Amino acid sequence: MIMKNSTQVSYFTLTAYFNTGAFQYLYFTIVLSVYVVIIGANVLLNVVICVNRSLHEPMYMFLCSLFVNELYGSTGLFPLLLVQILSELHTVPASLCFLQIYCIYTYANVELCNLAVMSYDRYVAICHPLQYSTRMTPHKIAVLVALTWFCPFLLVGVLISLSAPLQLCGNVINKVYCDNYSVVKLSCSDTSVNNIYGITFTALAVAVVLLILFSYLRILKVCFSGCKQSRAKAVSTCTPHLASLINFSCGCFFEIVQNRFNMSRVPNVLRVFLSLYWLTCQPLFNPLVYGLNLTKIRITCKSLVFGKM
């Protein structure tokens, strides 16, 4: 049942921004610099993979998809964030707010799906090396990449279609960006369908995480049962994937804690940092960890930036 004071709001107010005073332009410069670094690093690695034919292998194709997703997710956050830093009112039109929710949620789920297909690729390569070329065919790679992007866009589209028509009793979001959970909490109408879908959505994400962990457990089992050389090679190729998964999981954990528990006693600056962690550190972390740890990418980057030795 819809309450009398409910309405379809035309804009949302983001209240997590704190008064920066004379440091306003300093914060703007820092955030803009981070955005430029993210764009530059991820574009560079995509170019490296595309121009070097020796990198046209399944693992690097999935990495290319991952780097494209970092660019997509950053673009869904940073432009509006930069505008809000210089703004005094911190209001966002409802349509733009739901567009940002769609971008951020699809980014997070594409990221998880990318990590899942990358773990499957490493599982086949290490646990079934003789079958790798027959299992990871170009057609199968294309299908996996397509599903990695199509499924999240479809599922998040349903999520937004359930949230957008809700009648709301307020328009205040205590964050620096728009968040679906915060919007649903403002509703005066029945949100049981939203809650059921949200639980199902979360359960699917947890199932994907469990599949990733299962893949790496099988990989570790093979690593420790093999010879020293094969173990070292497997560990060197899997370490970046595990590091990326742990970093992304920590960011998601911080976000879930902020949504589900009262964080009023936590300093506002720390809350803002934790809410932005999974949207900023992952796009910065992935180019760094893959660029430094994977030898082929590292050598090609050096030749592109500094010229051939």
**Pairwise CA distance, residues 103 & 302, whole Å:** 33
* Alpha-carbon gap, residue 132 to 124, rounded angstroms: 6
For the entire predicted model, the pTM comes to 0.90
Q: Per residue in 203-226, pLDDT tens?
A: 998 899 899 989 888 888 877 776
Q: Are 39 and 74 in contact (CB under 8 A)?
A: yes
pLDDT per residue over 152-184, tens digit each?
999 999 999 999 888 888 889 888 899 998 899
In sequence order, which residues have a C-beta less than 8 Å from that of residue 246 and are 6 or more positions away? none
Question: What token pair was written down for 269?
Answer: 């600056």
- The domain made up of 11-306 has a fold known as Rhopdopsin 7-helix transmembrane proteins (1.20.1070)
Which residues is 91 bridged to in the sheet?
13
Q: What mean pLDDT is predicted for residues 102-130?
A: 92
Contact 148, 68 (CB under 8 A): no
Sign of the Cα torsion 13, 16, 19, 22 reads negative
Q: What is the mean pLDDT of residues 180-192?
A: 89
pLDDT band, very low/low/confident/very high, at 120 (cuts 50, 70, 90):
very high
Report d(CA 224, CA 49) in Å as an integer: 31
Which string of DSSP letters, residue by residue, matches 48-94? HHHH-GGG-SHHHHHHHHHHHHHHHHHHHHHHHHHHHHH-SS-EEEH
